[in-house]
């Protein structure tokens, strides 16, 4: 777990927090897959790895990811990163963060984060992506804390093993741990997610909301009368003099992924 910013306070019997899933809740795609091109430029993956990541990103955006898909994606990415230099990964993420991620942030999510902070709430990003990716993104959007998947590293390099997988019930466990540590009143706290795999986290708070929900989560939200939010607008580009922004469109990523998929189909034939 990592902190980003200073904690807020509330006037009630306990502090209030707002817990946000990251992928397809705060940003429009997978935060991990979004860095495939910078990782290639840094020599961490090859061109084939970029194409596979682009196609996986296209599928993720178009149809979401159920538990089996997320598990396959996790296995692929953890095996891929075995041997990577941790310091190099952190440097690449920091250097390309605003170019890669800022254009993908939902304006509605940014406004909601700002509203919670204005109300004195802590904002916590809880994601299955690696902590080295989650923490800088959380800091960029003004979150107070972040929790991500913790990879095992030996002598400064990832082994491919996972110390803590921030997914499913583990997200709820992380939320409860933070609540105990920081004095959050979970019955008065909020949580936001797009995926039914995050149901344990949503159920851990008294004020859950769903964002662009998958079919299973939408059904639960309707049955339980949870708010259903639709996030569609990207954050407006920042002036280059303030923060350089080079938008990488999802259409281009999808086209690249489709090309890889077509190549695979032709090979099978």
Q: Tens digit of pLDDT for each residue in 114-129?
A: 999 999 999 999 998 8
Confidence bin at 185 (pLDDT 50/70/90): very high
Give pTM, 2 decimals: 0.75
The tokens of 199 are what?
A: 């149901």
Q: What is the pLDDT of residue 261?
A: 31
Q: What percent of the chain has pLDDT over 70?
A: 71
2-268: which CATH architecture? Answer: 3-Layer(aba) Sandwich (3.40)
Structure tokens at 45: 């993956």
List the domain boundaries for the chain: 2-268
Residue 193 has pLDDT above 50, yes or no: yes
Given this model, what pLDDT does residue 67 score? 60
Closest CA to 226 of 197, 242, 205, 246: 205
Reported as a single tens digit per residue, the pLDDT across 28-46 is 987 877 777 787 778 777 5
pLDDT single digits (tens) 167-176: 999 999 999 9
Q: Residue 245 pLDDT more than 80?
A: no
95-117 pLDDT per residue, tens: 988 888 999 999 999 999 999 99
Using CA atoms of 67, 71, 77, 81 in order, give the dihedral in degrees to the nearest 10.
130
pLDDT, residue 70, reads 61
Maximum CA pair distance of the chain?
65
Distance CA 187, CA 203 (A): 10
Q: Catalytic residue positions?
A: 21, 23
């Amino acid at each position: 777990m990592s902190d980003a910013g200073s904690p807020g306070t509330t006037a009630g019997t306990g502090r209030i927090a707002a817990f946000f899933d990251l992928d397809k809740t705060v940003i429009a795609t997978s935060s991990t897959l979004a860095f495939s091109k910078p990782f290639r430029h840094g020599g961490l993956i090859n061109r084939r790895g970029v194409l596979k990541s682009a196609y996986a990103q296209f599928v993720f955006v178009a149809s979401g990811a159920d538990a089996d898909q997320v598990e396959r994606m996790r296995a692929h990415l953890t095996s891929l990163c075995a041997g990577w230099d941790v310091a190099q990964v952190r440097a690449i993420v920091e250097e390309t963060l605003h170019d890669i991620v800022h254009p993908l942030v939902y304006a509605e999510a940014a406004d909601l984060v700002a509203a919670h902070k204005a109300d004195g709430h802590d904002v916590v990003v809880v994601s299955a992506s690696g902590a080295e990716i989650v923490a800088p993104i959380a800091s960029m959007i003004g979150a107070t804390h972040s929790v991500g998947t913790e990879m095992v590293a030996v002598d400064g390099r990832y082994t491919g093993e996972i110390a803590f997988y921030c997914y499913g019930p583990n997200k709820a466990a992380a939320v409860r741990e933070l609540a105990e540590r920081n004095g959050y009143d979970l019955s008065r706290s909020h949580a936001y997610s797009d995926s039914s795999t995050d149901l344990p986290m949503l159920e851990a708070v008294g004020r859950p909301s769903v964002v662009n929900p998958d079919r299973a989560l939408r059904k639960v939200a309707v049955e339980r009368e949870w708010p259903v939010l639709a996030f569609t607008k990207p954050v407006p580009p920042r002036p280059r003099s303030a923060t350089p922004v080079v938008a990488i469109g999802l259409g281009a990523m999808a086209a690249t992924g489709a090309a890889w998929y077509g190549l695979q189909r032709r090979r099978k034939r």
